[in-house]
Amino acid sequence: MSPRITILAFGTRGDVAPMTGLAAGLRHHLGATVAIAAQQPYEQMITDAGFDFRLLPRDTEADTHSSEYGQAMVDGRRLKPSKEAIVGMREDLVGVGEAMARAADDADLVLCGGPVGSLLGSHVAEALGRPSAALVLQPSYVTGDFAPPALGTRSYGRIGNRTAWRLAGAGEKLFAPLIDDLRTTLGLPPQSLRSRRRRLEREWTQLCGFSTHVVPAPGDWPEHVHVTGYWWSAEQHAPEVPAGLEDFLADGPPPVYIGLGSTAISDGERVSEIVRDALHSSGQRGVIHSGWAHLDGGDDENLFTIGDVEHSWLLPQMAAAVHHCGAGTTAATLRAGLPTVALPGIMDQPFWAQRLHRLGCAPIPVPRTGVTVPVLTESISSVIGDDRYRRSAASIAEKLASEDGTTAACRIIETLLSAPTSPTHA
């Protein structure tokens, strides 16, 4: 009988898309029946890939815009967290854990994707009595090599970095009332967050969907934390291409890709104007991804504005990329061998921007909040004009092409299906 696996994928498109690739691998290698639980905007992406869609509540984009603190954080404005903001952060996840439990009710194995999946999914798996594992797209385990990616790029030394990870982990206390309610609803006994976090750190299998060529696996990570390589999203045989895009691409030299992905900034119009002027000043054509920032190339014949287009089809046709350095977009540009202008904003974006620079694929990152037309013009001209960036990007792309992160992950997941189920596996 084929194993039934549910992947809990709460988050943005970049959080969900790699899970379709992993699901395809599980189906191919293990004969698994895979369901992916996500929010409504990703239903078609999941069903088009041939997987059962299970609905999770909320709308991350809408929740960001409706939250004063959330919007300020995304925009890069300083706003002291208030009691109301903390309550709002918890309320944004009310009902999510319960929906995850319903989505995974028939699963033999629960895979918990991303920060929210890891936060809530382990309790769901425990209640269901199923084995589980964490799926992460950025480093998420304590190490002395670097501080938590969400805290920026500064290193505090090995002891300081490990301390920073511990302090960041203590942030789960903000969600203690939510977790207590979830455990009560699921029929689980109360449990100390601290003791549970320590136990999961000791025993819970974690699969990291990135490459050691980009982030070498820290030597102080335990054996149950695996850096498998990237999980590329399931690809459509005939990707949907906006009308006129192919003609635009054929009508001149390769353009520059511009995109901020699922970054719901409130000043997209201002950033759009900077992008248009910088592309004009640098003499480059551009393909501009609207995304959650609602970027717009306007009526310039040298610019083409798009919605979501499959990265594996689009990016190899670009000359370079200007992007926010989310984990998914960073991976896609590396796979395509594209030199990058990094415009990081929040969370793990500065971490990936720094990685691109260290790899030689990008000039010094330009913080999105400080970008100006002259600075962006110079960066675009540099990344196009200096062939060293393209050579470095091509070298990384060649290394990534030799990896098969999905197969590596599937081999590890196969061992979980035969593992004894206990609270330490949940």
Residues 93 and 177: their CA atoms lie apart, in Å, by: 11
Q: What is the pLDDT of residues 7-22, one digit of tens each?
A: 999 999 999 999 999 9
pLDDT at 409: 98
Lowest model confidence (mean pLDDT) among 34-43, 102-111, 164-173, 385-394: 164-173
DSSP state of 333: H
Total domains in the fold of the chain: 2
Strand order in the sheet with 52-55: 52-55, 33-38, 4-9, 109-113, 132-136, 206-208, 225-227
Model pLDDT for residues 179-224, shown as the tens digit of each residue: 999 999 999 999 888 888 888 899 999 999 999 999 999 999 999 9
Give the mean pLDDT of 392-405. 98
Rounded to 5°, the CA angle 129-135-137 comes to 165
Across 75-89, 244-258, 267-281, 381-395, least confident range: 75-89
Q: What confidence score (pLDDT) does residue 82 get?
A: 63
Q: What is the pLDDT, as a whole number, of residue 58?
A: 87
Residue-range definition of the domain harbouring residue 35 = 4-57+95-230+403-418
Tell me, yes or no, whether 240 lies in a domain. Answer: no
Whether residues 219 and 348 fall in one domain:
no
Question: Does the residue 47 lie in any domain?
Answer: yes
What is the b/e burial string over 329-345, where b = at least 16 CB atoms within 10 angstroms of the residue's CB?
bbbbbbbbbbbbbbbbb
Q: Are 172 and 321 part of one and the same domain?
A: no
Q: Are residues 216 and 269 in the same domain?
A: no
- Worst-scoring range by mean pLDDT, 53-62, 83-92, 207-216? 83-92
161 Ramachandran zone, left/alpha/beta (phi>0; psi -120 to 50): alpha
Residue 163 lies in a domain: yes
pLDDT at 199: 87
312 and 192 share one domain: no
Say if 85 falls within a structural domain.
no
CATH number where 390 lies: 3.40.50.2000
Quick one: average pLDDT of 51-61? 92
**Does residue 84 sit within a domain?**
no
Q: Judge if 166 and 118 occupy the same domain.
A: yes
Is 223 within a domain? yes
Whole-angstrom distance, CA of residue 283 vs CA of residue 285? 7
**Could you tell me if 259 and 344 lie in one domain?**
yes
Indicate whether 296 and 180 sit together in one domain: no
Least confident of 172-176, 256-260, 274-278, 349-353: 172-176
Closest alpha carbon to 376 in 272, 278, 282: 278
Residue 363's φ and ψ, nearest 5 degrees, are: -65, -175
Residue 368 lies in a domain: yes
Q: Does the residue 145 lie in any domain? A: yes
Whether residue 130 is found in the same domain as residue 15? yes
Residues 209 and 278 both lie in one domain? no
Are 113 and 15 spatial neighbours (Cβ–Cβ below 8 Å)?
A: yes
Lowest mean pLDDT among 201-210, 212-221, 318-327, 411-420: 411-420
Q: Is the pLDDT of residue 43 over 90?
A: yes
Q: How many helices (H) and strands (E) does the chain have?
A: 18, 12
Residue 344 and residue 352: Cα distance in Å, rounded? 8
Domain identity same for 101 and 192: yes
In this structure, are 188 and 260 located in the same domain?
no
> Are both 152 and 202 inside the same structural domain?
yes
Examine the pLDDT at 423 and tell me if it is beyond 80.
no
Digit-coded pLDDT (tens) for 289-301: 999 999 999 999 9
